[in-house]
Amino acid sequence: MAQKELTKKSSTLIKVAKVSGAVGGVLGTVDNALQGINDFSEGNYVRGTINTTQSAAYAVGTALLFVPGGQAIGAAILLTATVSDWIQSAIEFW
């Protein structure tokens, strides 16, 4: 009985993690794409390239969350993109 309940709870947590990862991935994709477009229009091609690359990483990581066997790779890509975003923000505000 306890094993069945534990399995049900872990299944629910996995579903919640997928949804929250997907929402964060979509937001990261849109945010970085808009920043990249803005950077390119202002002539800042280096930042534009960085932001569009991060946007692509968020998109690929989010898509992999829903591919059987690709969840770990997707999560790693999303984590890497998020850390990259944080580093970029820290550098810009210092």
Q: What is the pLDDT of residue 44?
A: 93
Percent with pLDDT over 90 in the chain: 50
Q: What is the mean pLDDT of residues 64-86?
A: 90
What's the Cα-to-Cα distance from 60 to each of 12, 66, 68, 74, rounded to whole Å?
24, 11, 14, 7
- Specify the number of domains making up the chain: 1
* pLDDT for 1 beyond 60: no
7 in a domain, yes or no? no
8 in a domain, yes or no? no
81 in a domain, yes or no? yes
Q: What is the mean pLDDT of residues 74-84?
A: 91
List the Cα angle 17/19/73 in 5-degree steps.
60
16: which 2 tokens? 């919640």
Which residue segment(s) compose the domain that 88 sits in? 20-93
> 18, 66 in Cβ contact below 8 A?
yes
